[in-house]
Amino acid sequence: MGNKTLHNIYHLLYKQYGPQYWWPGENPFEVIVGAILTQSAAWQNVEKAITNLKNAGTMSPSALRNISTDKLAQLIHPTGYYNAKALKLKAFVRWLGASYGDDLNELFALDTDTLRRQLLDVYGIGPETADSIMLYAGNKPIFVIDAYTRRIISRLGLAPEKNSYDAYQKLFMNQLPQNVGLFNEYHALLVRLGKDACRKQPMCGNCCLRKICRFHSDA
């Protein structure tokens, strides 16, 4: 897979959809909360939960530490798996307070590898969530891999030999400039395509990549 292929995909997506203005959030902490809540959830439901948290005055690390787990679960109920996500949010804000005094600037001053290792050690944060936090809240040049990206890249016939998160991530990281803006926009555009056309049951007629897609040509 060559640089030109990845760039070509990006330009086709950008031409079709334009800028996506990701990640929605008023500040880095809100982006982090959204990254945790969006696990297995539609974004519109995450927005409802974030609105609930704001209205309750709990959109801060200290407020999330002080609220009861049951009350927090009620506020984030729209996202599904609310009991588990309440525990994850609690774990993150406890760690952030204990390790960095709630100072996100200090947290994001870490180098990328160290930051990622530390985030992955926090309960409930896996690679996708960690990378979303790093890219969208911390402005670190790391490519986020999600189910949409895997599906699209696989159907294009560009999947790595090893079907793992790291292998897909290296595919992008090794072939593209290490640019936060590019990684941000590219991931957002892939998600847009995954929702609009490259669904589990694909709508190839709506896809701007169909002319270069092996799945479409083999269909």
Question: CB count, 10 Å around CB of 18?
Answer: 11
* pLDDT mean over 71-85: 98
At residue 177, the pLDDT reads: 96
DSSP assignment of 175-210, as one string? TS---HHHHHHHHHHHHHHHHHT-SSS--GGG-TTG
DSSP state of 157: T
CA–CA gap between residue 39 and residue 76 (Å, rounded):
12
- Which band of pLDDT confidence, cut at 50, 70 and 90, is reported for residue 142? very high
Residue 2, pLDDT > 90, answer no
Q: Shortest CA distance to 118 belongs to which of 94, 142, 99, 143?
A: 99
Residue 219, pLDDT > 80, answer no
Which backbone phi and psi does 163 adopt, to 5 degrees? -85, 75
Residue 92, pLDDT > 70, answer yes
* pLDDT mean over 65-86: 98
The predicted-structure confidence for 93-106, as pLDDT tens digits, reads as follows 999 999 999 999 99
CA–CA gap between residue 29 and residue 54 (Å, rounded):
12
The predicted-structure confidence for 7-18, as pLDDT tens digits, reads as follows 999 999 999 999
**Ordered domains of the chain (ranges, CATH):** 3-21+144-218 (1.10.1670.10), 28-137 (1.10.340.30)
pLDDT, the chain, mean? 95
The predicted-structure confidence for 171-206, as pLDDT tens digits, reads as follows 999 999 999 999 999 999 999 999 999 999 999 999
CA–CA gap between residue 49 and residue 74 (Å, rounded):
9
Residue 213, pLDDT > 60, answer yes
- Enter the pTM of the model: 0.94
CA–CA gap between residue 176 and residue 187 (Å, rounded):
13
